[in-house]
Structure 1
Amino acid sequence: MTTEIRKLPTGFGRLWTAQTVSSFGDGVTHAALPLLALTLTRDPMELAVITAAATLPWLLFGVLGGALVDRWDRRRTMWVTDAARAALLAIPAAAAALDALSIALLAAVAFLLGLGGLFFDTAATAYLPDLLGRDPALLESANARLRGTQTAASGFAGPPAGSALLALGRAVPLLTDAVSFALSALLVRSLPAQPRPAPHTREPLLRQARAGASYVFRDPLLLGLALRPAVGNIAFLAVETVLALFAHDRLGIGASGFGLLLTAEATGGLLGAGLASFLGRRLGTGTALTCTAAAEGLAILGLAAAPNPYAAGLALALCGAGMGATMVLGPSLRQAIVPAHLIGRVASTSRMLAMCAAPIGAVLGGWLATTYDLRTPLYTAAGLLLTMTALTATMTTNHRIETALQSTIPPHSPHHAESPNPTHQDTPKH
């Protein structure tokens, strides 16, 4: 099926700007929060509490949050959430100015920011296909831009700015992020309203949440799209856990060189996001997803065997490119094929699986490095990624994707082909 490429609507520009501003603020806080914590404690466990607190909302409320977003107005959810996060950051900023910061306060702020991120990200994922008319080509183009600017703002610009702003005062980076959330809320508030999908039934919240999770697990295509980031997070966290030590002990890289390694990975991510639509058109989305997943596995294999920092940087750049392309193609496809009344629950279920997998990877990487060798977690991660690629290749084929996309076309459309009657129900159709 071919899709006519249309121009992105004006409203997307405001959404794009809002995310860019907010991502910059996220990068500022991402660098500043651990540094603020270091002024209070040197206990690794206390520092870990703050890191864990930020991801805990996804583990506790991921699927329920998706069910709530499917009930709520998506645009209102986004701007109210960002306004609330702006107000929230005023609390630790005031505490920093009054020299009243504590680890408990920073952990609570990290948890609430993570909870806000759950609602905002899920609502934005659900709002975008409505804004773009569920056009697959437009979704790929939009997600490529969103992913690219998010990487640039939160990965390149935000962290150095956060470190620099901290030198001006402990409250300054927190206030900067608060301003970014406030600006984002104002921009999102000005977006065009989209009709909220009518609730399919008046089921209890927990039952609706289970229906969303069931929709993912019973559909091979959606399950394949969810398994890749979940297994990928196990692999990537296993690598990330030992990467700094591996770079220092095996490659002889110092602190500045390690920063360059991470920059190489982020640069590859930008390139991959930019090439995602081209790869999807040239190879078909299913084949492109399989190729990018294979590239990630081979890149980590190359990193494990890297004899010098240059080879390691090239391997990480290739891995970043595969990840960048995957994170454009996968979500774009999901947004195009999932019914509007389920998109929040499906997106949050997939994200929750990925978030739950991350701690497993961190523990696995530390155990393998302690028990065997620093290269062992890297080789294991490569094996996991390549095995996952082989297992999910048949779940996300071009044919299966074309069938799923065809089933989303209204019967009166000239592009509609004979297909099973797309009844509006909470069961997979593809």
Structure 2
Amino acid sequence: MSAKLPRAFGRLWAASAVSTVGDGVIFAAAPLLAVGISGDPVMISLVTFAVMLPWPLCGLFCGALVDRWDRRRTMWIADLARAVVLGFAVVAGVSGVLGIPALMVVAFLLGLAQVFFDTAAQAYLPMLLGRDQPSLRRANSWLRGAQTVGEGFLGPPVGSALFALGRMVPFAADAVSFVLSAVLIRTLPPAPPADEARSPLWTAAREGARYLVRDRLLLGLALRPAVGNLAFAAVSAVMVLYARDALHLSAAGYGVLLATEAVGGLLGAILAGPLERLLGTGGALTATAAIEAAAVLGMGLAPTALVAGAAYAVCGCGMAATMVLGPSVRQAIVPERLLGRVVAASRLVAVSAGPVGALLGGWLAGAAGVRAPYVAGAAVLATMTIVTASMTSNRKVEAALAAASAAGAPVGLSPGR
């Protein structure tokens, strides 16, 4: 870890690492539990829908509240809330009363807590680091790397193994991970509310959305992951069919294919900094967008599983680098009092595109074959690369950083702690 990052960031990173391993555990265990409760694919899909529902339903309001609350307190309370919800789920599961409706409620509450946590975490980081963009990029690289390892490598096999011991054991383990994360976050420097205004919540939420839409750079930074989610949800929706019918992979081979994306994601988190220094932030964002488009096309046209796996790794690399570079710029240029709301609005745009992409992917696969969503997704990504290249150019990024610096960035939160 860079010596320039404060010691407090080490505790934030450790909290993230612990909780993302728990997320990976649930990523593997939750589908197994849902299938064990009900074999109806519609009912099972409702659980996924429930965990995504809080973003479009109340994401903007959560962002407004995050700006009015202590962001550190918001994070550790959200973690404790998730631990409590999982604890109730464990008790219900052991008692034999955890059906799909109850699981949907659990999923919704976990999703709601995640909205608060993720928004507060992205808004807290620039307060901790003094809104220094190179430091933010390094910090986001470390956080993204921890997320990739926890959710992509460690968590899923641990979750499957724990599920074999007992179907509620993984959920108990995830609850413990959230408690540990909350304890670590509780030791961080407090963050006083950034927005002291007491306007109606809806008015405050709209202010953040308007700020995003009216800023061409921020809008470009939001559109990139939104279109990416549209394309990646389309291909992910048919990935298992693509692996079976086009690549002729077994279940074990399908698991290996999925792991290649995590390998690329870890590499992308590491390479984000060197790529930024080589091409500039705007140039690097355009390059990663083009890489993602080419990689998705490569998957769609891959003649063998080996080629498909290599393309998926490259895609993961581009996605991870994008998710390091884009948020780092946003965290550095958005006024502190609006950051929670702008983060929430950006995430809302990105998350809302996912379900649409999944539906389109399924329709395309049924109409034109399992490779069609990959070709269409690549075309969408390539088009968006061209559209957003001028919106997120080096010139615009440098001008925005200079304007934020001239406006006077906050000093930060006791970096020595």
Quick check: 1:406 aligned with 2:365? Answer: no
Report the residue type matching 1:252 in the other structure. Answer: H
Quick check: 1:270 aligned with 2:266? Answer: yes
State the shift of 1:159 in Å: 1.1
Q: Partner of 1:172 in structure 2?
A: 169
1:248 to 235, 244, 251: 244
SS of residue in 2 equivalent to 1:162: helix
State the shift of 1:171 in Å: 2.3
CA contact (8 A) 1:31 1:159 kept: yes
Pairing 1:328-343 to 2, within 5 Å after superposition? 328-343=324-339
Q: Partner of 1:108 in structure 2?
A: 105
- What CA distance in whole angstroms lies between the structure 1 residues aligned with 2:268 and 2:114? 24
Q: Partner of 1:215 in structure 2?
A: 211
- What CA distance in whole angstroms lies between the structure 1 residues aligned with 2:161 and 2:141? 29
Give TM-score scaled by structure 2 length. Answer: 0.96
Report the residue type matching 2:217 in the other structure. Answer: L
Q: Partner of 1:286 in structure 2?
A: 282
- What CA distance in whole angstroms lies between the structure 2 residues aligned with 1:289 and 1:126? 21
Quick check: 1:320 aligned with 2:316? Answer: yes
Quick check: 1:26 aligned with 2:33? Answer: no
5+ residue gaps in structure 2? 410-417
- What CA distance in whole angstroms lies between the structure 1 residues aligned with 2:321 and 2:378? 18
Pairing 1:80-229 to 2, within 5 Å after superposition? 80-199=77-196, 201-229=197-225
Instruction: Name which of structure 1's ranges 118-127 and 86-95 shifts more when overlaid on structure 2.
Output: 86-95
Instruction: Name which of structure 1's ranges 57-66 and 98-107 shifts more when overlaid on structure 2.
Output: 98-107
Aligned length: 408
Q: Partner of 1:423 in structure 2?
A: none
- What CA distance in whole angstroms lies between the structure 2 residues aligned with 1:29 and 1:368? 30
Quick check: 1:362 aligned with 2:358? Answer: yes
Pairing 1:12-51 to 2, within 5 Å after superposition? 12-51=9-48
Report the residue type matching 2:173 in the other structure. Answer: T
SS of residue in 2 equivalent to 1:194: coil
Report the residue type matching 2:109 in the other structure. Answer: L
State the shift of 1:85 in Å: 1.1
Cα deviation 1:342-377 (Å, max 9, x = unaligned)? 110111111111111001101111111111222211
CA contact (8 A) 1:93 1:170 kept: no
State the shift of 1:225 in Å: 0.3
- What CA distance in whole angstroms lies between the structure 1 residues aligned with 2:313 and 2:174? 29
Q: Partner of 2:412 in structure 1?
A: none
Quick check: 1:74 aligned with 2:78? Answer: no
Identity of aligned residues (%): 56
Report the residue type matching 2:330 in the other structure. Answer: R
Report the residue type matching 2:215 in the other structure. Answer: D
CA contact (8 A) 2:71 2:192 kept: no
- What CA distance in whole angstroms lies between the structure 2 residues aligned with 1:198 and 1:310? 51
- What CA distance in whole angstroms lies between the structure 2 residues aligned with 1:296 and 1:339? 30
Report the residue type matching 2:175 in the other structure. Answer: A
State the shift of 1:196 in Å: 2.7
CA contact (8 A) 1:6 1:138 kept: no
- What CA distance in whole angstroms lies between the structure 1 residues aligned with 2:301 and 2:328? 34
Could you list the structure 1 runs, at least 4 aligned residues long, displaced by more than 2 angstroms after superposition: 410-413
- What CA distance in whole angstroms lies between the structure 2 residues aligned with 1:192 and 1:411? 24
State the shift of 1:28 in Å: 1.0
Aligned-residue CA RMSD (Å): 1.3
The structure with more helix, counted as a fraction of residues? 2
CA contact (8 A) 1:82 1:185 kept: yes
Q: Partner of 1:237 in structure 2?
A: 233
Q: Partner of 1:347 in structure 2?
A: 343
State the shift of 1:259 in Å: 1.0
Report the residue type matching 1:173 in the other structure. Answer: P
- What CA distance in whole angstroms lies between the structure 1 residues aligned with 2:408 and 2:94? 62
- What CA distance in whole angstroms lies between the structure 1 residues aligned with 2:288 and 2:155? 27
State the shift of 1:195 in Å: 3.3
Quick check: 1:305 aligned with 2:301? Answer: yes
